[in-house]
Structure 1
Amino acid sequence: MAQTRPVSSTPDADPAGALHALVLASLDDDQALETVSIPLTGKSSIADYMVISSGRSTRQVASMAQKLAERIKRERGISARVEGLTNADWVLIDAGDVIVHLFRPEVRSFYNLERMWAFGDAPPVPPAPAA
């Protein structure tokens, strides 16, 4: 007798877009500052999106990073790699299709990743407000 598996929900038509939306929503929930999203599709093979955001302190940066990694695991089933959590001046979260950089404002200003990753004259795209 053949076993039947439970029917899972329909897979996302755009898994990278769904992960990107999850990241933006989580950062918004945690009151991240100056969140910027840079689309990388067709420009880099490292990811589809890069999200850069700030926290007011190392404590907030660490908290946002931990919550985001847990939420990605819980809701998308992805074990994101997290680097820099010990000092929490700059935390990198690699979730595959979306790479997230969380900074303290002074550190973000020093490294200026938005400028480095802006292609041509086009500025990074601020994320659309959550619906």
Structure 2
Amino acid sequence: MSASATTAETTSDQVLTRVLASLDDDKAEDIVTIDLRGRSSIADHMVICSGRSSRQVGAIAEKLVERLKEEFGRNCKIEGKDQGDWVLIDASDVIVHVFRPEVREFYQLEKMWLPAGTRV
């Protein structure tokens, strides 16, 4: 899909598929996808993953934002890239959190959003 495709034509599942491919391409670790449809109005999907270092966390986030802009024409909001501990990417209907492992362990976002009884 080219940058000429509008956001209205792009489904959250298409964006999720591209997000997951981008994270895989950039060697993100421990990727978890959480379906938020019917549970939250903030987005349809949340993706949580880790990078091995602050540098990799920043690079994963930067490449993801570039790819979504190039392929879907999406201008994503990004927070925390300069610190590289926890980067939040808001691609409207898909929210992506990229953590350093120790920071991810501290916040344990998966436990807040995954259904009760789900093992992480």
CA contact (8 A) 2:10 2:72 kept: no
Q: 1:47 aligns with which of 29, 43, 46?
A: 43
1:73 is matched with which residue? 69
Q: What RMSD, in angstroms, separates the aligned Cα atoms of the two structures? A: 2.0
TM-score between both structures, scaled by the size of structure 1: 0.82
Distance in 2 (alpha carbons) for counterparts of 1:119 and 1:68: 27
Higher helix share: 2
Deviation >3 Å, runs of 4+: 11-14
CA contact (8 A) 1:33 1:55 kept: yes
Q: 1:112 aligns with which of 99, 108, 111?
A: 108
**Rg bigger for which structure?**
1
Deviation at 1:118, TM superposition (A): 1.3
SS of the equivalent of 1:101 reads strand
Gaps of 5+ in 1: 1-7, 125-131
Task: Count residues in correspondence.
Answer: 116
The answer on 1:24 being equivalent to 2:20 is yes
Distance in 1 (alpha carbons) for counterparts of 2:65 and 2:9: 22
Deviation at 1:123, TM superposition (A): 4.7
Distance in 2 (alpha carbons) for counterparts of 1:69 and 1:14: 16
Deviation at 1:12, TM superposition (A): 8.7
Cα 1:14–1:82 shift into 2, 3 Å: closer
Identity of aligned residues (%): 54
